[in-house]
Structure 1
Amino acid sequence: MSPSERRTAYVLKMYPRFSETFVVNELLAVEAAGERVDVFSLRAPVDGRFHEQLAAVRAPVTYVRSSGLRAADVWAALAAARAELPGLAGCLDELLSADVADAVQALEVAVEVRRRGIGHVHAHFASVATTVARLAARLADVPYSFTAHAKDIFHEDVDPEDLRRKLRDAAGVVTVSDYNVAHLRRAHGPATSRLQRVYNGLDLGAFRFADPVDRRPVVAAVGRLVEKKGFDTLLDAAALLAADGVPFRVELVGTGPCEGALREQVDRLGLGDVVRLRGALPQGRVREVVQSASVFAAPCVVGADGNRDGLPTVLLEAMALGTPCVTTPVTGIPEAVRHDVTGLLVPERDAARLAAALRRLLEDGALRSRLATGARALVEEEFDVRRQAVRLRALFAGEHEAVPA
């Protein structure tokens, strides 16, 4: 099949998802590079907020049944698959051992893969999306690949044997940082022979760099309000800055399960005049908040359950826009934020060190300018989504590139 005829299925747990801008960026980039893509979403979206660039994605989206399945639905899926999937009989044992919903979704995806002439299946996250993608690819007799991120490989609920099987059976595996590559190699050895690192990329044309030398004393922070983002430490640092009389304001954008606790912390620390919780904002407004700030704070931590960020896309966006970053050396973050070169690193959960780094950047315009310039140069060199799309298309074509040991 020629590259212009090649067609790839993306299997995603939920599409679109407001917090997964990297998926939309990737879809747009691989389509711009010439890939024909079909999206299969295993869950219907539950969030009414969508990014503006979503409208530019050309891929058709199929929502696969995931709930309310009756016995009749299972038998109907098997009957439909029998006529389309010559290899069905050889996969019956695995189908019967799978979760019923996963098995039915895999059957439905596999049938569509065959009907549409799709030659490759790719999933994001090594959890349920890859479970369905792997089984669907086996049923349809096509190769599959997946991208491993963070929670799907670090969380305490990850089944090592299941992940090892997915790594071993895949035609290629992508993960988003060198840190992840090293972790997966230590944990899963020979099963990682087809593993490669491909950073999540940005469409740099959408992120205009501006020198931060003369910006107002504002600290921006963006993300889901969950433990791994470390925003409670940011508020503790803000209290230290306020106690020292430092003029500043914090703009915290996002929603999530920790919102109530964070609002209570703002009240308890007397930060109502300097910290504003902005809720969710459209992507264009988020960029305005970030680019008008003197500092971007991402005090990421490893959660009690092992959950952590991989390499937050919003951190790369801040670097591209020219907003110097203060963050922590969690997982792949130091691959982008190199201390005193492209940003500042502080230990996780250390409010005093975080406050000191924020103060340095709030008060030193020349330092802000130097770090921002270095950060933009690194993003252009390593995180351009067009370069990542070339590597992904090669992976879909079977030209995997394992990371050197």
Structure 2
Amino acid sequence: MSRLKAGPSIVLLYTTFPKISETFLQRDVAALQAKGLNLRIYSLWGGGGEFRGLQVRSFNKWRLLPLFLFEIPWQCVRRPRLIRDLFEGVFTRAAPSWLNFWENMLGAGFAGCFYRELQRDPPALVHGAWAGAPATAGWVWWRMFGWRYSSGAHAYDIYEHGGDWWLMEKLQHARFIHASTEAAKRELVERGVPAAKIQVIRRGLEAFPPLKPLRPVRSPLRLVCVARLVAKKGLDHQLRIYAALKQAGFAFEARIVGDGPLQDSLLALAAQLGVAEQVKFLGRLEQPQVWEQLAWADVLLHTGVIAPSGDRDGLPNVIPEAMSAGVLVVTSPVSATTEAVQQERTGLVCDVDLPLAWQVALQRFRDDDLLAERLRAGARRWVEENYDAHRNTDRLVACFEEAMKP
């Protein structure tokens, strides 16, 4: 295992790292590492081990026992105002959900368990990748020691059940806030976060794949969806779109990549709608296998919706990945997807409640070579201009460096 580089250290906090469904975070760390930053990585829930020669410290939850028995009573004596504020916040307002309650408790517990370790070599900056548990830990350390911290703020943090329980307190004192879409920035500004504090820095690809040729004959049309099987992905709508295509005699093959809690109900719905033979559920795949599915596909479908909990996508990374490879994209107009998939410029946009609109869009992709090539070229340009990991990481590094200044 390689030794950490000399110089001020940045502590990176994740809920679970590395995680197969969050490859964009792994790309971020790899790019930051390539810039020579001195990184210390902690994973609060799962994950751990080693990533590209860097140790990923995991959180043994048994450490919470002495925290509650000894550390919290001691801190009540030593830092009564902090403890009072924490308990007042807990008992004077309801958490948006039990999950978010425990996420924040996890972050606070982690901070209480690890602060002595970090005191031996205080970080120049603590960065929470998410505004939930990771940012809670950074905020608690700021309250305890004045350590600088910054935070990500992404769709889940902002929208799920109306947003994280302590979102505004954590963002108020962050040195900067990393959002990955303009939609997230607009929402935070509407809630009172100063616009100047929010840095919209998209994720990115370390290298762009070759643009694959357009298949000269696209019938049956090859359709792919890469998504977790959760409500915000709108996959029940997508299956109804497939059913409408079949009823219209439209030849297609569809593959859905991903797993999740709705798998059984979606398989049952596919059978009920009579599209089980046309639609294959491939389960969760490793990233190289996802790229193989994009190489196979003519079109990527994204049928994102606003879930009953309020959760929704920002800009799913698979969309610019598909655009970079030459896969045509049709998406619903929910959240930030249309920042990349711009109607008639880089792709097509359709309402999930209008299956006929999707049928027309897919017919155009199948039959109109000029349209397909124009959109593929526009999509590739957008990705090269907006989704270059090296350029975007340079901006993130600049934010870190500015945040670490005295």
* TM-score, length of structure 2 as denominator length: 0.86
Which residue is equivalent to 2:222? 218
1:189, CA displacement in angstroms? 4.4
RCO higher in 1 or 2 (8 Å CA, sep ≥ 6)? 1
Which residue is equivalent to 2:267? 263
RMSD (Å) for aligned C-alpha atoms? 2.7
1:209, CA displacement in angstroms? 2.2
Residues of 1 paired with 2:267 and 2:87: CA distance?
48
Which residue is equivalent to 2:22? 20
1:315, CA displacement in angstroms? 0.8
Structure 1 residues 13 and 381, CA gap change in structure 2 (3 angstroms): same
Structure 1 residues 37 and 330, CA gap change in structure 2 (3 angstroms): same
What is the CA deviation profile of residues 117-168 of structure 1, one whole-angstrom value per residue up to 9, with x for unaligned ones?
A: 42111112212221122112433432111111102101225257x2111111
Kept in 2, the 8 Å contact 1:77–1:104? The answer is no
Map 1:328-367 to 2 at 5 A: 328-367=332-371
Is the counterpart of residue 119 in structure 1 residue 121 in structure 2? no
Residues of 2 paired with 1:241 and 1:337: CA distance?
22
Which residue is equivalent to 1:390? 394
Which residue is equivalent to 2:68? 74
Structure 1 residues 203 and 159, CA gap change in structure 2 (3 angstroms): closer
Residues of 2 paired with 1:342 and 1:304: CA distance?
30
1:331, CA displacement in angstroms? 1.4
Kept in 2, the 8 Å contact 1:13–1:41? The answer is yes
Moved more, 60-69 or 273-282: 60-69
Q: Which of 350, 372, 376 is the aligned partner of 1:372?
A: 376
Kept in 1, the 8 Å contact 2:105–2:133? The answer is no
Which residue is equivalent to 2:100? none
Structure 1 residues 187 and 103, CA gap change in structure 2 (3 angstroms): closer
> SS of the residue aligned with 2:151?
strand
Kept in 2, the 8 Å contact 1:14–1:45? The answer is yes
What is the aligned residue count?
383
> SS of the residue aligned with 2:280?
strand
Map 1:3-402 to 2 at 5 A: 5-45=7-47, 57-66=52-61, 69-70=64-65, 72-75=66-69, 77=71, 91-94=82-85, 101-158=106-163, 162-190=166-194, 192-205=195-208, 207-214=209-216, 216=218, 217-398=221-402
Gaps spanning 5+ residues in structure 2: where?
91-103
1:79, CA displacement in angstroms? 9.9
What is the CA deviation profile of residues 198-257 of structure 1, one whole-angstrom value per residue up to 9, with x for unaligned ones?
A: 11222224x332132436520010010111111111111111111121211001111011
Residues of 2 paired with 1:100 and 1:225: CA distance?
27
Kept in 1, the 8 Å contact 2:267–2:276? The answer is no
Residues of 1 paired with 2:401 and 2:79: CA distance?
24
> SS of the residue aligned with 2:54?
coil
Gaps spanning 5+ residues in structure 1: where?
47-53, 401-405
What is the CA deviation profile of residues 247-269 of structure 1, one whole-angstrom value per residue up to 9, with x for unaligned ones?
A: 11001111011111111111111
Kept in 2, the 8 Å contact 1:66–1:101? The answer is no
Structure 1 residues 101 and 329, CA gap change in structure 2 (3 angstroms): closer
> SS of the residue aligned with 1:121?
strand
Moved more, 243-252 or 133-142: 133-142
1:115, CA displacement in angstroms? 2.4
* TM-score, length of structure 1 as denominator length: 0.86
Moved more, 16-25 or 364-373: 364-373
> SS of the residue aligned with 2:26?
helix
Kept in 2, the 8 Å contact 1:77–1:107? The answer is yes
Kept in 1, the 8 Å contact 2:18–2:51? The answer is no
1:272, CA displacement in angstroms? 2.2
Identical residues among aligned pairs (%)? 28
Kept in 1, the 8 Å contact 2:43–2:59? The answer is yes
1:270, CA displacement in angstroms? 1.1
